[in-house]
Homo-oligomer: A and B are copies of this chain.
Amino acid sequence: MDPDLRRRLEAVVGAAHVLDDPDTRASYETDWTRRFSGPAACVVRPASAAEVAGVLQICRAAGIAVVPQGGNTGLVGGSVPRAGEAVLSLRRLDAIEDFDEVAGEVTVGAGVTLERLQEHVRAAGWDVGVDLASRASATIGGMVATNAGGVRVIRFGPMRHQLIGIEAVLADGAILRRLPGLLKDNTGYDLPGLLAGSEGTLAVITRVRLRLVPLRPARAVALLGLPSLDAALQVVRAVRRAAPGLEAAEVFFPEGLDLVLRHTHLAPPFPRPYPCYLLLECAGPADPAPALAAALEPVADPAATLLATDRADRDRLWACRERHTEAISAEGIPHKLDVTLPADRLAAFEPAVRARLAAVRPAARPILFGHAGDGNLHVNILGLDPDDDAADGAVLELVASFGGSISAEHGIGIAKKPWLSLTRSPADISAMRAIKRALDPAGILNPGVIFDLEPPAPGVAEPPGRV
């Protein structure tokens, strides 16, 4: 890299934190999926908002774009460089501060992992409202920047709803800082909520204040075998109204459970297979099992219902669902889609997407699972060439025709950009571009993520970046 640029960056973050040898850069240049990768000019590792501001000012003056990066666990290519950008790693911003154990609020550096924060606050009887499988690596900053969801959205909402304060650095180096943690604050535009989910394109998030949720020590998990997804959704609705503290409602199908059983040492949960499986978890201050059992009684077949309250039994039931991702990866390299359907269209979408895939790519092996309470289905597809987008496009077009969203949790990144206009209108995209130009006129923050600053020429669609 340019020695003068290096010298200026080192003056801000220290010589040890401007990295440009290829071996060190490598882990920052390729994402967790190994599907997205690109060359970085360098990796810069600031330790404070002021250092982030200094780095952004230098990069802006030098005309170098910046890719903010947390735990690099994203699935849409939004946290790795595409074309010689500087990677701005936020992992050194790892302080947990001002934990109010009475009110349940905490200020968290962008680089703190979800798991570390969970351990920290659980010791005092609190919990983070969002939980997801990549907790050991995913950072709070990245989770806010992508508005992460996970398995508890049905009860506590996504990261955006946990946010009660933010510190972030704008492209010009100005620092937005409001961290008192106010549950109600109607004083102008909701900048924290706007930055949440903006995937690093509007500002670099450096610290957040989060509201916590009380730890719910008593838990009950039910696993049900059911004749269809429609039947599963009916059970979810019944339980949602009758059982307090429903915080997970996960569905999966025999093709996924077969993969899990084949690649793990788990025993089959039931003596026979069912067309659809539903996992429910209720939690609260007091044992939720009686209310859950009572809610299930009128709607579930006792022979196809397992109820677990102690930890080991609950974990065994959860493993049938949580080990899907690992089992799918052991079987091959999947195409990963993550879609939401309107509540009343989800049941009809499931056979429709299988039929569409069979028509477009007969070799495709779909493995579906997801969050039934949110209409959110993860569509994993094995048996496809990694560079063959035809199935992805066919699925996303089907989602759009059902009135759904092409990305429920993962974001757009660069992976889903070609299909953004399927579910965001020209007026929507134009308004987003106007906001991007207003806050980052030079376009140095994560360029090319979500949309390009200039609309593409008519008829031109850009393929997602690839290794």
Contacts and interface: CB of A to CB of B under 8 A. Distances in A.
B427 A176 contact: yes
Given A174-B430, A176-B431, A435-B435, A340 B291 contact: no
Interface string A130-142: 0000000000000
B439 A434 contact: yes
Contacts of A190: 147, 160, 193-194, 196-197
A186 to B, nearest CB: 5
A406 B187 contact: yes
Given A188-B424, A190-B194, A376-B183, A103 B432 contact: no
B431 A439 contact: yes
Interface string A158-184: 101100000000100011111011111
B187 A342 contact: no
Contacts of A434: 438-439
B191 A193 contact: no
Nearest to A440: B434
A18 to B, nearest CB: 26
A178 B244 contact: no
Most buried by B among A184, A190, A371, A424: A184
Interface in A144-166: 146-147, 149, 153, 157-158, 160-161
A443 to B, nearest CB: 14
A187 B420 contact: yes
A180 to B, nearest CB: 4
A103 B424 CA distance: 23
Interface in A114-138: 125
Interface of A: 100, 102-103, 105, 125, 146-147, 149, 153, 157-158, 160-161, 170, 174-178, 180-191, 193-194, 196-198, 202, 214, 237, 240-245, 284-286, 291, 340-344, 371, 373-376, 403-412, 416, 420, 423-425, 427-432, 434-435, 437-439, 450-451
